[in-house]
Structure 1
Amino acid sequence: MKTSSYDGPATVLVQGGEITVHVELTGEAPVQGVASWQGEIWAEEPDEDFGTLRHAHTAQLRFPEGGTGEFRLTRVVAGAGRVRARITGKGPIPF
């Protein structure tokens, strides 16, 4: 099984808008079966509450190198002056 991780900038694409975020993601690609990836995102703007993202079924995450991946929001946690969101990716690991 191959494990990947990414800690850095990305952009959330949701309902025609963009949110600049920082992400901490991990992914696992088994020799056989389906890859999975998940992690946390938080916005570069401290007052972003991910309201649009909360109402969307899925969104895209775009990485600086051009890769993209579809994800869904699984949980939003407010605290320490920032809102963090837990996400679960769908499809191949994009980072």
Structure 2
Amino acid sequence: MARNEPVQIHEISVDEIYVPAPRRKTLKDAKVEELAEDILENGQLRPIQVRLGKDRYVLIEGYHRLQACMSLGEKIIEAYIVQAKKF
């Protein structure tokens, strides 16, 4: 993405998002519950961040938001699609 290019929010199916194993170990149930309540009251205020994988999106940031939306039965989540950094 070019530096001056506006960031677009995309709507993505939660079923198309892969969460890497190290990220899954960081889940805190109390945080998910708190976020779920906030999302119910205010909507999803901050999109998650994903990158394109081979056949799905890979979560970069927003695991607790993703889980909170899923706990509410949401099938779609707002996300920024970012490019993976090459090292």
- TM > 0.5 fold call: no
**TM-score, length basis structure 1:** 0.28
Q: Which has the higher helix share?
A: 2
Question: Comparing both chains, which one has the higher relative contact order based on Cα–Cα distances under 8 Å and sequence gaps of 6 or more?
Answer: 2
Q: Which has the higher strand share?
A: 1
